[in-house]
Every structure is written in C-alpha cells, then in structure tokens.
Structure 1
C-alpha cells in the first residue's frame, strides 16, 4: 500500500476515473462532493467518460425530458444527476471534467461568480487546443457562437462540485432522438439547424485530439487560474472507497432515477411552463376546485438552486394552500429559507404557479363562482 499524500491548500488532486456506466459516475459525484464537505477529500479535478446514457437534471421529470422507450430500445442508460440543468446525452465522444473545491478556493461565495471563474478557466483550457472558446453566461462555453461545452454545479455546505462536458466528437441526430422534443425538430432540416448551434473538436480541428492532450490542457488552465500545483493520483482514497460503494447502491436504482413524478390523485392537474433567465420551469397544480385549495404542487426544470432539496421543501409548504393565499405563502417560505439561485427569483416560482392556475377551464371557474354566490 502506498503512502498517502499530505495535501496542502495549494494542491489540486487530478483523478481520471475513465469510461464508466452512468450510475457509477453519478455515485462518484456524490462521493467526492460529500467527502470533500466532510474533510475526507482534498481539492480535486476529475476527468470522466460515459458509456451511452441520457442524464436528466436533478429537478427534472424523466418522462418529460427523455424518450424513455427509445433509450431502452437502444440500450442507452438513464440516470439522474445530482446537479441541476437540463437533460443531456453522453457517449464516449465526450469528456467530462469536474472540480471539487470549497468557496475559499474560488475566492467567492456567489453562484454566478463561481460559474464565471470556473468557466473562464475551462474556456482557456479549450483555447490551448487551438480553438477560440469563450464563456457565455449562464453556463455555456462557445466557439464562434456554437456551443462546445455545457456546465453546471452542486453545493453541499461549503463544498462545491462544478462540472462540464467537452464535445470531442458528437452525434447530433442521436441526441435529438433521445431527448423529448417535438417530432418536427428531428427532421433533416432541424438536425442541420442543430449542427449549426453545436460544434466539437473533431469538426474544428479536422481530427479529435488525444484524450491525454485534452486533459493536460484543461488541467493546466485550472492550475494557472487558481494558482495550484497538480498532483495526479490513480484511485479514490481509503475514506472515499466505502462511501462510493454505498452511494452506488443508492443511485443505481429506479426510485432514484424516477423520483420526480407527477402527483397522483383523482383531481385534475393544471400545468404550465415558464421560461426565465435561470432556465425552463414546469409546474403542476392539483386543485380542489370546490374549495379553491391547492392540494399539491409539482415543480421541475433545468435550473440551479442550493440546497437541492429546496424544491421538495417548497412543494411541502404549499400543500393545502388556499389559492387566495398562494402569493403570501411563497413570500413567507422564501423569507425564512436560505437558498441560492442562479439567475432565478421567487417571482419565477410564483409566476409559473399562477400560469398553471390560470389554465383552468373558464367554464369551471364560472360554475364555481355561481355556486359560491
């Protein structure tokens, strides 16, 4: 057994976990984030790759985001990330990078500034490969206006996991058939249009660069941006390994993957969509129309909030809320709840729920008013 490194604040561990199943990569996310928060992991840069899979964001509903039957028929694994954001398709033609650090390492506690600092460093790493990559808020890296990398983060106390993907080679057509989008967007014309919005290193450079060169460019850029020394390692440390085994047992399960379901019940579900700077929000409201009381709400989307359980707590706080008190209850919740949101506000949650309520059949609203009178 080797001697464990004595980690300094100026060290950045570099860990390449290779090509893995989606469940293993997501379990490693949880392991490294929670172990870093507990003081059992040093600052870490991880490189990773996936066998073919479709990943939904932490707050998304699988059936709304993906073509589940197509994924199963094609042997594409479905998993749920621990980070927010939208659904994405992964295969070995992409490389992932992840930073596990704390807020002091980055010199800021603000979500938007954290994204900017990390994404600008990643863009510098991609430029070292010979392409003019630039950060575009809220969380993309582009080359001449075409996306080459998407990013996102998760927080656990003072610990931060911020991750990105870099498109080395990419099958746009397969991605469009995995994601749940209108059929017309899978036409030849739509596929050509999607290719114009996304690019990859093979297309830009004529051939895919070696993985080792990509990793070296990104690692060097992060080391320079944050003034740290890179320390490569081969595996998890002894404290992380049992944590990973437990995380994998919990994540490699359907109840983790399919946890964001529509509410079940005999009452109609009023639904709405709201697009805002922080992402796309969807809401469902189960309404007791006879009493004008919200029985249950359901919110999903591709946004980023910290802590991740904020949505569950908000939904619980709105159960059995009279419609007339919805706005006051939402303000009361956010006044008392410590939450960080990326380009998102309490007004966005209020707006999507109002839109859902406004989708009621006018005839039923008139009948209710008449009965009350």
Structure 2
C-alpha cells in the first residue's frame, strides 16, 4: 500500500481539517501527516460549540471555533501544539484501536527520553500529565486517527479559552473533561525548537529510504480549499450542528438585572423569554420576536438588532451588553 507523508505548511484550522477529510474521502493511499493551527478551538463532532468556550475571550481574541470530524472533547490549538494524523485503509473491526496509531508516536517520544505511555483509551501521558489527546473517525474501510502533541503550547490561553460556566447550558452533548496537561518541552533535558521537534517526529515515523514527498498537488489544494470554505468555515457546520440545548443567564447591567432563557436547535434561537428589573416603554414580546429565529452568534445578533432602539425595551442597557446576555 502506498503511503503519503505530508507536512502541511498552512496554519489555517479550516484548511487543515478539510485536508484530513479530503484525503480520507478522495484518496486511496495511506497517510501520515503533521500540521499546526494558529490559535483556534477545535471541538468534537458531537459537542455543543458554545458550551465549550469562554465566549468573551474567544470574541476578544478573534479565535475561530472549528468542528472536526472526530468525536471527543474540545481542545485549544496554537503554534506550540503539533498535530499528527494517520489515515489507513483496510479496517477489519468496528472497534476503535488507539494503540495501533499511538504506538509509533510513543516510541518516538521515548527515544528522546520521555517515559510516555497510552493512558486510558485515548490519552498519552508523562508522569501522569496529559501531553496528547487522540480521536478517530471511520468511513467505510478507511480510518482517520489524529492526535495532539502539546510541545510548547500556551497553557494560560488554553485555560482562558476553554473555561465556561456549564450551568448556563442544559443539553446532552459530549462535555470536555478537564485534565492536568503539560508541555513535552518541559520534560526534555535538551529542549528542541518546535520546528526541530516536527522534523524529529517525521524522521522517526517515515521508514528509512522511503520517499518523503510532503506536498499536496494543485488539484488537491483546490478541492481542499473549496471544502474548507463551504464546510469548515460555515456557521452551519461549526455551530448549527450543535445538539439542541437550552440556555439561561442572569446579568447585572447599568439599567438593572437582565435574565434571559431560550432554546436553540440547529444553531437557531427558538423559544425566548426575557425578564428583569429594568424599565421599558414597549412590550418585551416585540423584542423577543425580533430575536427569535436568529442564529446564536454574536455577529448575527448584532446585525439583527442594528435598527432596534434598545432603550425602548430596556432603559439603560446598550445593545452590546444585551448581546452579551446570550453567551
């Protein structure tokens, strides 16, 4: 079986995740691939996107939230996080086999002095600290396995980006589980640069004498870019696929307390009720009707309310603060 060894140059999360799917669906070769994303949050296939993130931090930093093909929890990526992907043909069982794909990674890390091991079903740990999370997706007889390698990731950003109050969201979606994580570089006696670490992993995984062509063809790049734009940058995939959920929030504003309750399905705000201690000149039902049917996104809500004089409904509450109540 022909094996392709790829190192993706782009750090665009939408393009990198689209590359995985395109190669899984359109190619027949086995693949080993290394890639990095600029700061982004990558959520699992079955998760409620909003419930995994610190919305204020994500919005302020302009961090994209992108849904992947595989299940599991949300992860924060930056350029200190190295991701690896295996795609193979010839699946003979419906069971997920993490050991098969993590063994070569474990062997490589042990070679540079890390007492690394597969812990539980899908984590790699060193001294009980998580350095890698793994997930899989099967399509016919093809399997996609990918994992993270926390090499020199920003731990404060990970903590800030993924912190959210779970009380606000009521749903049955998969929840991310907090773990004690650590960077690989902190365990090395002679730390490498991220680029040298990537080269080391490549050298260990690619068989000796094997042709090492790390590039995608122009035709592949064109198909991948189209998939990234149509799917992995879309609200429908990243947020609209979130399971149905209910949201509630209580916030103090300059105009008084605002309390909001609403349901979301398909990424769209449905039933909505607004309560509070503020003063209003008009009936709130008119404002509720204006918001109902809007996508549950900050940009969509701001656009929906751009012609609304909020003082008519909530004296002393500005539009930006009102929109904050939805996250």
- Secondary structure of 2:211's counterpart equals strand
CA pair 261-85 structure 1, distance change in 2 beyond 3 A: closer
Is contact 1:12–1:229 with CA below 8 Å preserved after alignment?
no
Return the alpha-carbon distance in structure 2 between the equivalents of residues 207 and 179 of structure 1.
Answer: 31
> Is the counterpart of residue 72 in structure 1 residue 59 in structure 2?
yes
Return the alpha-carbon distance in structure 1 between the equivalents of residues 234 and 51 of structure 2.
Answer: 19
> Is the counterpart of residue 96 in structure 1 residue 83 in structure 2?
yes
Q: Where do residues 354-373 of structure 1 align in structure 2 (5 Å cutoff)?
A: none
Alignment coverage as a number of residue pairs: 240
Match of 2:234 in 1: 253
Match of 1:218 in 2: 201
Higher helix share goes to which structure? 1
Deviation, 1:238, is 5.1
Return the alpha-carbon distance in structure 2 between the equivalents of residues 91 and 235 of structure 1.
Answer: 22
Match of 1:32 in 2: 23
Deviation, 1:124, is 0.9
Return the alpha-carbon distance in structure 2 between the equivalents of residues 214 and 262 of structure 1.
Answer: 38
Return the alpha-carbon distance in structure 1 between the equivalents of residues 211 and 85 of structure 2.
Answer: 15
* RMSD, aligned α-carbons: 3.0
* TM, length-normalised to structure 1: 0.58
Is contact 1:57–1:80 with CA below 8 Å preserved after alignment?
yes
* Structure 1: gaps spanning 5 or more residues: 1-8, 184-193, 271-285, 287-295, 299-373
Deviation, 1:96, is 0.6
* TM, length-normalised to structure 2: 0.65
Deviation, 1:235, is 1.9
Deviation, 1:253, is 1.5
Given candidates 136, 151, 155, the residue that maps to 2:119 is: 136
> Is the counterpart of residue 109 in structure 1 residue 93 in structure 2?
yes
Is contact 2:243–2:265 with CA below 8 Å preserved after alignment?
no
Is contact 2:79–2:153 with CA below 8 Å preserved after alignment?
no
Deviation, 1:245, is 2.6
* Structure 2: gaps spanning 5 or more residues: 167-177, 248-262, 267-327
Match of 1:322 in 2: none
> Is the counterpart of residue 158 in structure 1 residue 145 in structure 2?
no
Q: Which runs of 4+ in 1 moved over 6 A?
A: none
CA pair 150-244 structure 1, distance change in 2 beyond 3 A: same
Deviation, 1:222, is 4.0
